[in-house]
Amino acid sequence: MNILVTGANGQLGREMQRLSAVSPNNYTFTDVAELDVTDAGAVRQAVAQTRAEVIVNCAAYTNVERAEEDEEAADRLNRGAAENLARAAEANGATLIHVSTDYVFDGTAHLPYTEDAPTAPLGVYGRTKLAGERAVAESGCKYLTFRTAWLYSEYGNNFLKTMLRLTAEKERLNVVFDQAGTPTYAGDLAMTIFSIVEGGYFAGNEGLYHFSNEGVASWYDFAAEIAAAAGHDKCRIRPCRTAEFPTKAARPAYSVLDKSKIKETFGLEIPHWRESMLYCLKNMLR
């Protein structure tokens, strides 16, 4: 089986590269240097040349703050590229696996969001990601879209790596406690996608799914667990409100995803966020 992966140098793409080393299938990994996913012609050519049967789209514009100032660039990657890949998938009979976000919701819920919950993004990032979801769904291609939240890994820039650095450098640190969600290890999402692709379980199971680790935390809880696990006990972490840190982009206060559908469809057992955080830290600190 031929699998084309875009955004290969990001958090999720790097994890997919690691997993592919044990696969008998043929993976082609691309990032912007190899394939401009905003170029529809280049995408069609790449899908045809690689004879891709599955496309895993890990490419995205993920800078939430900067998106507020550059909606055109965010739209090109989050909607335009998704549409290009979906149309190429449809033309070649491939299945597209697309990754989306909790930011399609406004964060006002008090129960975990199901796949059919009403969407109401608060900013440019969420709007462009939702537009990408819709472009994929309307393309006519076979697809699986995975919404995820609070992604971190050993790679790139993310909250875990930032907190690991700051709690080592500072004696005091303020972290918001009034945003709730689930820290999600990119390695766990990659393993889920990899297992579905390798097992051929994507056939007949097309649609929209939610994936995150188990459990719920605030950013404050997450930061405190990172500091404790790393032994950074000299840093005093203080819980504070979101209002104390005004940002250009409004962020959902509640980002907990209901994972019943993906667990029931694919028989998944998903690790708790704390377990996966400790595993990731162990890899980083050894």
Known catalytic residues are 125
Task: Say if residues 80 and 39 touch (Cβ distance below 8 Å).
Answer: no
Place of tokens 């005004």: 246
Q: Which tokens sit at 200?
A: 């051929």
Find the Cα–Cα–Cα–Cα dihedral 239, 245, 251, 256, rounded to 10°: -10
Which residues, 6+ apart, have CB-to-CB distance to 258 below 8 Å?
Answer: 111, 112, 113, 114, 115, 210
Among residues 279, 179, 167, 282, which one has the least CA distance to residue 234?
167
> Residue 210 — φ and ψ, nearest 5°?
-105, 135
The whole-angstrom separation of Cα 28 and Cα 180 is 36
* Exposure b/e, 98-117, CB count within 10 A at least 16 = b: bbbbbbbbbbebeebbebee
210: left (phi over 0), alpha (psi -120 to 50) or beta: beta
Q: Which tokens sit at 52?
A: 């891709």
- Position 9, amino acid: N
